[in-house]
Structure 1
């Protein structure tokens, strides 16, 4: 039976009239949108209308009543039922255009989205509301060697910045004060600090529409870059630049933004990448280590958990008490909040962590899966061996994101 969505081709006779538009390129494009609030709504809506074939939406937050004033894809019942933003955005986008696929990822961009997914997309769009989230997204984009488009709004003001490896870097452009704030929020390696909730910022649906539209337009340009000779591009991009919109005075400016410092830790690109069709985050740690030894042709392997350490126990200072948790670090705040005793202690004491940052055959929980120790599906493992360092993709998980 033929469905109505298959009886016509989305955008035919409309976008195909644009001289620079490549229908097949857009249909096959993959875009990762991080953040599903006001900006994320606008960006996903625009990409959906353009007919971008694969859109991945990442957000861990739930919809609130306050989101309804500037989020075109949310409805009142979504807020009353506390639905996840990513789920609702994906559902509504595919209602608009049934010919595309929008995949929601309810989780954290740093610990719940595999690096192989970042590598698989054409462009990344950041619709975030904190320096920490931008810092983390920049790290992931640089490791994957991908351009990412940052958007921010406040009141009637909006800013779009495009960061491309080798040209500019978000971390390189941070002031000392901004960097210190990020480091304070991430905390020391052995101390749990409850992250302060983000205060609401006054914004308007107009600012979100304008900034989201510029981000989407830049994404379409990035999707088409490989279709043209670099010397004969039919458009100009914002790579290495910043677009600033001021609604109070109806003014726009474009500034150069090319900060690229030597020895910045964000510039580490993970590669070359070894693919392994047998490796999945659903494998046990023991099975993964055996497979890695074979793939790397090594006697010893050690998996680095630099994104998401495995916490065995946490210990309170006063009173001195130990709590066994056995969870990824990304789940720690949630576990503390859900345990009455730990939650009460967290207001008046410091928790120290006993954790594993590197996993080898001596790891006492070898029967846990890679997912259970904090490694997401379709990730890239950073593996140390006697022959050096390897980057190995969990290629068996690719089917989850096709």
Structure 2
């Protein structure tokens, strides 16, 4: 027997999957958006399973606080501040040299997504914010691509498999189910919550890619590991015929510039302004209290804004969700800081 010839033998012996499922997996191309906690766990599982082509896109670099849960990264990666997409590819190639791995250090927006989806069979959600997820959702609906949503914070996790033309899309679900708004930086996270979410995401991926769509879970799954709670929720009723992302007269609103998060570098101020794509209303008192509990910096507030100074940056947020990130002219860095604290 040649070295590595039995690499996938244990999952091929799983009767519902078999050698046919493995062959289809090897012919598949999966796009993973985000290489943080979810993205690295997804990528490692699918690489080990033998997905033939993985494409990974992420805008951030490895930090020490990532090592607690982002399983592809090392202390050396954090010391070098290596881009996550680069570090992930290097480690994945050591895990499985027989598959194709493409990585892109990029802030994924509409144009980037359009350039990444050629030949893709499935999109996996490894992101940390709903702006990007809603872009993914519209792209998936536009090109009839399945995608698997996942999120986690604290000990809580949520996941749902979205099949265009069959299931509600993420836009349908907004307002219908509790999708949450905290982040790992504001509420913390335990790694087991990550692993639980990605276990469900990747088993759904393997069912779908191997052609066993009859085995897909058709419900939205939520759980809280600390409270020993879990729930499967039927959400078929949430599918809306008038949904602009997946309905009868779809316009893919989140691919439109009017619904995109807007960023501007303010002239001469070493500041980036971020405006959410959709109008929102923040409770400034609760926002100040939440940031104060972090103990990471100075929090000041008045009836009109909350100021949060941490390290060399100062984040000022207004009731409409608009924020000024002082201390940087780098739009990508500013967006990372904003989403770190506001999801």
Matches for 1:3-402 after TM superposition, within 5 Å: 7-9=3-5, 11-19=7-15, 20-21=17-18, 22-115=21-114, 117-118=116-117, 120-166=119-165, 167-175=167-175, 199-225=185-211, 233=214, 236-239=215-218, 241-258=219-236, 259-267=238-246, 333=264, 336=265, 340-341=268-269, 343=271
- Matches of 2:11 and 2:273, distance apart in 1: 59
Contact preservation (8 Å) 1:33, 1:127:
yes
Alpha-carbon deviations, 1:349-396, whole Å to 9, x = none? xxxxxxxxxxxxxxxxxxxxxxxxxxxxxxxxxxxxxxxxxxxxxxxx
Alpha-carbon deviations, 1:231-284, whole Å to 9, x = none? xx4xx2124x21122212333322112222123221279xxxxxxxxxxxxxxx
- Matches of 1:345 and 1:126, distance apart in 2: 26
Displacement, 1:9?
A: 3.1
Displacement, 1:208?
A: 0.8
- The higher radius of gyration belongs to 1
Specify the alignment match of 1:279 in structure 2. Answer: none
Displacement, 1:124?
A: 1.1
Normalising by the residue count of structure 1, what TM-score does the alignment of the two structures yield? 0.58
- Matches of 1:268 and 1:134, distance apart in 2: 18
Specify the alignment match of 1:321 in structure 2. Answer: none
Displacement, 1:81?
A: 1.8
Specify whether residues 267 and 14 from structure 1 end up closer, same or farther in structure 2 by C-alpha distance, changes over 3 A only.
same
Contact preservation (8 Å) 2:157, 2:193:
yes
- Matches of 2:244 and 2:139, distance apart in 1: 12
Contact preservation (8 Å) 2:152, 2:158:
yes
Specify whether residues 152 and 343 from structure 1 end up closer, same or farther in structure 2 by C-alpha distance, changes over 3 A only.
closer
- Matches of 2:201 and 2:273, distance apart in 1: 44
Alpha-carbon deviations, 1:14-37, whole Å to 9, x = none? 222111232211111111111111
Give the secondary-structure state (helix, strand or coil) at the position aligned to 1:266: coil
Runs of 4+ in 1 over 3 A off after TM superposition: 176-179, 197-201, 306-309, 329-333, 339-348
Specify whether residues 343 and 173 from structure 1 end up closer, same or farther in structure 2 by C-alpha distance, changes over 3 A only.
same
Displacement, 1:126?
A: 0.6
Give the secondary-structure state (helix, strand or coil) at the position aligned to 1:66: helix
Contact preservation (8 Å) 1:111, 1:308:
no
- Matches of 1:106 and 1:128, distance apart in 2: 14
In the comparison of the two structures, how many residue pairs are matched? Answer: 265
- Matches of 1:211 and 1:341, distance apart in 2: 41
Contact preservation (8 Å) 1:119, 1:146:
no
Displacement, 1:177?
A: 12
Note the aligned Cα RMSD (angstroms). Answer: 3.5
Q: Which moved more, 1:121-130 or 1:9-18?
A: 9-18
Give the secondary-structure state (helix, strand or coil) at the position aligned to 1:105: strand
Displacement, 1:332?
A: 5.6
- Matches of 1:345 and 1:65, distance apart in 2: 27
Specify whether residues 307 and 106 from structure 1 end up closer, same or farther in structure 2 by C-alpha distance, changes over 3 A only.
farther
- Matches of 2:118 and 2:126, distance apart in 1: 19
Displacement, 1:10?
A: 5.8
Give the secondary-structure state (helix, strand or coil) at the position aligned to 1:124: strand
- Matches of 1:120 and 1:343, distance apart in 2: 39
